[in-house]
Structure 1
């Protein structure tokens, strides 16, 4: 038995070797035959893969699609691709597919430039993936941005409360047109996390779509609203279907620009609503356009305002106004401000076209911001940008009508800039006085509470007055400030009105 082993084993090994060599050859032949039988990708398949679904197809799906042998297989793959993403197979339409193609069409409409289709641009990519931003802001002046250190017009998009809970609540994308071609390139991506701005990798984004949102929500588009406002500006037609008041204030900003808060108030009683159960839903869009004297647009912004109130809450608000604030950044000069308020449910709009003058607050010598008058119980209902918390809080309470009731507590807020510092102490010394005037006659002079000297060249004044002793009528408040180190003074005036106090049980 042992003597036969050496003869048997080599024979068995040879047979096995022949078997595997033959099997490998057959396998290679079959692969070669399959490769020869594989149909090349048609132009339609290439376009679908490289253009239509390039932002949403997964690497695994792409690999499978490329290696399918026939166009028939690829057609079946495409059908399955969309079925997998259909959020509601019970309906006749695939809502995901419809929304995706709609976004591509709108991206091509709004962002195409210089022969580049809109879907290929950075803005087109994010529009397709995330849908229209909640807010867009365009600074069309060509200057170096302190945020991005890039020169050229800048566009900022903000998203919040996206359907995917894995994404940050607040995302901000900054695009810059570096070469003046109209092609805005992604410059910076930020996420808001626990009050801090942090960098965010845009490659982590996936297609965001909530098919349960109602039609009005899905069709809202700030870019469409900007186009609509351009038509309103061209015709200079004023619409008052949604009445509103606004206040615009100039404060010292960065890069020799003025920070210009805009506060809008709209009576709740004039706002259309959509009711669901015990809740009332509001859906508005605020669109702003600022043009210079030659008529060139220097700033644009469009912001969606969506909120709800219970029936009980709304009943207590019908004699008050919805309030919203945002910030503009403008160089000193004369402008024309165009505002459009659009109700997304009813299509009703309100407009305003007014001249605006922005002072130079960075010049030599003391300068003052605009005066902001407010009532202590005023609060902004809308989402506001906390770019300057102290300033933002004060301005958000602005009484845009400047109408107070006798007995109200009126708050006065303003800032002073470019104060001189004492050569010995290195500190400022500043005092202010309030003068109440009616029909050209001075009624009272009230010194402002003293401000402790500091090494800062800017300071703020905030003082409250109880309007008990004032009769109903029209008044002017003058705030006069003296830089005691230089002896130079500056002052500002603002008109306001006092009406009779509200009687118990009376209607407003």
Structure 2
């Protein structure tokens, strides 16, 4: 029985040894398997070297070359032959440090890390100025550190070895890159920038140098410079590489992520553009610091967590998803497993009331840390998965500010030229203004449907020069301005950002607006403009930025009507009907039995969502112009507190054309 079992185990080992590796292109470090074409070329090279050895069997350089080719085949059998050949080269020329470095590389590919380090150190003993030995020692220590990123002394050792290599050759591309990356992980950004800048200058066509430099500049708060480096990298990368940086799937809740991944590529890219517009900490400016931080995280995930031997891209691993969503953790905790299970790392994110811990396990002892599958760890696996599925992404915005709130209203009118006039009113609460004499900066951006910035305006304002008004118990300062523009087609996105004060405060407002061409409608109408009512003067012509009114007050509004047809008497006639109703709700606003009752009530109304108005009135006018500007005052005393919509229906009596405008408002207790 024991003999049968032994034969079975030998068969399994032979089967594992013969299992083909994944078809991955060779990398510069020669540790990966080759593609089929490369394998054929290497076999031909091996035959050529063997033929040369027939005539020069004592040539150590030929044995070393043969060892290199067998190592590049990247199979257990070829690596064993590689060791035999490099040992022959060492026996023939034991004082050549290159032979020992090549032996160390093969041992490292076989995962004999201690022996590989010993071979590199033997090369250094033979020649302390041998660049390749120092460089490969640095790579080995860096790779050991990146397995779990818990043992910082390995990172320090790697830096020390790479510095020795740098002192020998200060132009070597990979040495410069690794020194820049490792110093960046130490948060030594000035030192890191020195190496990364030199690498990008000497090797400008390699996108990873620009990605690293962009990451360093971002951490230093040099956002414009960082954006330039990231943009350069995106241009240099191919579509596959770009897709990792442009993909927003890792940032979405689980259900949204599933829907997003089903979309066509063009639809997904357009949605991603709007996603970043709505998740911009400074939405009115050209720079999106949050997008830059996303680039930084994707770069780090791919650079730190990619597993070449398993063909895993770091951005697609469980740890990569966590890094892209939340950044690197505040603490790394490590458990060897005590021989009972694979080692485990815990990523701890600290935060007052918002902290959490994620757990990853090297369950199959291959260096791939993933969410545990072992039933013994089902509780921490479930907790980790729930966090990744439900906790929204978090970002570190490097500029310290105090959040402030503003109220923004906009309304469109048609100018005499046919272009559109956009009016904006911004209410700044006095509670956000420590010194009314301090300058604030207000920036407005408008993006068209394709996210092209079509309007960019900057206003410098001083609160003590603005109109002051009260709404409830709060006092506000009003800033009002207009923009004339050629109306774009489709819906647009608007972003307003207000910054300033001491201490530094920032307020933002983003929303979708429809500008449209008002000159083509027959009849046409401006937006309804709720206007500010002041106790001293009553209704004004200023757009009210806060459409929330006390019970028992009056509603002030104005509107324009355009393009009315003229009758035979050369007069224009129109009928205006206004109504105030509660805001209609949809089925999505309810659940359970309340949703069923909503459908029953809707069926009773004949499938209509309309409700009876609280106030309704109609009037007819005859004027000698196709355009009219008018105003109304509506007493709200009979309406209970709640959310309402004002509807204006305009009928051109001469032509029969109609148009409707609506605007919501709130009545408070």
TM-score by length of 1: 0.45
Larger Rg: 2
TM-score by length of 2: 0.35
Q: Which has the higher contact order (CA 8 A, sep 6+)?
A: 1
More strand by share: 1
